[in-house]
């Protein structure tokens, strides 16, 4: 449960000499952390990214930091957060990080106290943290209504707590700060499963449908205050969470898929015949956070290789 400030130093990731990078200069590749040209168009902004330790969240944190934002990184795995903070060091941006479990009701209080102690105002909120759970109707046990497994209910509660309730609570906490400055960005990482439901993932689909609804409601409430609120809806993304779902024996069994073929089936279900990379999602999020995207609000934007139209 440590919080540390990261600043300019020698990059512990690629061992290259580092420097403060001036506006319109630099970001790093999500995979190899090599420098790539980009604009520093978020200089002076502070961004809170949840679920930042891996996958899409990690790529978003790198993208926003490379655009000049100071980042607050939140996830459960402190070791991975520390590694990410070192990567951000490598191109002259600052970050703070803290290990938090967003399934716990106390996380909001802990997060607020930590950011207040760090004097970190939130200009950009990226609600990325999410969990997936396979769940289904047990039609093979029609008389077992009084024998429901409590664990099934806990999965439902945890999925909605992290994917839907937490983003709403964080928006309620930090939107007033944005209103004071007449500028803010809220980006909710949803899913195409929040637009077209998937079988055996009721809790996940329900949470993402709900998140898209929250996005629209908040966009209407905050539109007059210089604040945009949008959802980004990925399809299959090359992340640990997606790989876990694709390789889950229960998910494969329910979908009548051979586990050895599940990755190819997922890939070939996409018109582009590939999985989206995390840095593609991050690039879209970065654009939505800049001033050039100030006219985009209340939208659920798909980035799925065409999967949403199949």
Residues taking part in catalysis: 204
Task: Using alpha carbons, list the distances in angstroms from residue 259 to 131, 188, 192, 248.
Answer: 21, 31, 23, 8
Rounded Cα distance between 259 and 14, Å, is: 36
Q: Which single residue is written with the structure tokens 């990325």?
A: 128
**Could you please report the per-residue DSSP string of 247-266?**
H-HHHHHHTT--GGGHHHHH
Alpha-carbon dihedral sign for residues 251, 104, 299, 280: negative
**Of 99, 63, 56, the residue nearest 80 (C-alpha):** 99
Coarse DSSP helix, strand, coil percentages of the chain, rounded to the nearest 5 percent: 45, 15, 40
Cβ-contact 101, 131 below 8 angstroms: no
Task: Using alpha carbons, list the distances in angstroms from residue 284 to 180, 188, 231, 302.
Answer: 26, 12, 11, 10
Rounded Cα distance between 270 and 256, Å, is: 18
């Amino acid at each position: 449960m440590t919080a540390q400030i990261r600043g300019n130093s020698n990059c512990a990731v690629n061992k290259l000499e580092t420097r403060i990078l001036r506006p319109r200069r630099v970001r790093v590749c999500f995979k190899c952390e090599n420098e790539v040209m980009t604009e520093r168009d978020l200089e002076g902004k502070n961004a809170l990214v949840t679920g930042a330790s891996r996958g899409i969240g990690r790529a978003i944190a790198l993208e926003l930091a490379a655009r000049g934002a100071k980042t607050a990184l939140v996830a459960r795995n402190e070791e991975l957060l520390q590694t990410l903070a070192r990567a951000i060091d490598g191109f002259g941006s600052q970050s703070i990080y803290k290990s938090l479990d967003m399934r716990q009701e106390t996380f909001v209080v802990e997060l607020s106290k930590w950011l207040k102690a760090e004097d970190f105002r939130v200009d950009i909120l990226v609600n990325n943290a999410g969990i997936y759970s396979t769940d289904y109707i047990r039609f093979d046990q029609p008389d077992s209504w009084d024998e429901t497994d409590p664990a099934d209910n806990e999965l439902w509660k945890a999925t909605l707590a992290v994917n839907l309730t937490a983003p709403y609570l964080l928006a309620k906490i930090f939107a007033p700060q944005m209103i004071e400055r007449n500028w803010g960005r809220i980006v909710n990482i949803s899913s195409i499963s929040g637009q077209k439901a998937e079988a055996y993932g009721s809790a996940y689909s329900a949470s993402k449908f709900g998140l898209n609804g929250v996005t629209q409601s908040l966009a209407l409430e905050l539109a007059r205050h210089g604040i945009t609120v949008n959802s980004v809806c990925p399809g299959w993304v090359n992340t640990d969470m997606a790989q876990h779902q694709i390789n889950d024996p229960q998910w494969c069994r329910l979908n009548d898929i051979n586990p050895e073929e599940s990755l190819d089936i997922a890939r070939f279900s996409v018109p582009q015949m590939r999985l989206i990379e995390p840095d593609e999602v991050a690039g879209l999020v970065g654009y939505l956070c800049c001033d050039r995207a100030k006219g985009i609000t209340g939208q659920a934007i798909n980035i799925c290789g065409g999967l949403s139209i199949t």
